[in-house]
Amino acid sequence: DGGITQSPKYLFRKEGQNVTLSCEQNLNHDAMYWYRQDPGQGLRLIYYSQIVNDFQKGDIAEGYSVSREKKESFPLTVTSAQKNPTAFYLCASTYNTEAFFGQGTRLTVV
């Protein structure tokens, strides 16, 4: 089955640690995105990539980093510089006018 896979589903991190969220897609889509969703809020764009080896900052990129070495993969690193990382993180890819989402990773800082 084609789709987007995010892992892990739940992640706990200690303050001061970096953590990497995985996003893999086998849809052959060029464009991939990372969003953050907080309770009662919409999706805010962290980073996006239109093509391999290229990515752009979104609205809230501070404290995050990404890479796009392969078309299928767009991992997101939440660094210790991100002051409030506890949130629901969604990865998406797009084809024409439709966005497809992974099931999300719920990150909690303890």
Among 11, 31, 52, 60, binds other proteins (CB under 8 A): 31
Among 22, 63, 79, 104, binds other proteins (CB under 8 A): 104
Q: Is the CB of 16 or the CB of 42 nearer to other proteins?
A: 42
Q: Is the CB of 31 or the CB of 80 nearer to other proteins?
A: 31
For tokens 């640690």, what's the residue?
A: 17
Among 48, 55, 64, 74, binds other proteins (CB under 8 A): 48
What residues make contact with other proteins under the rule CB under 8 A? 31, 33, 35, 40-43, 45, 48, 50, 88, 90, 92, 94, 97-99, 101-104, 106
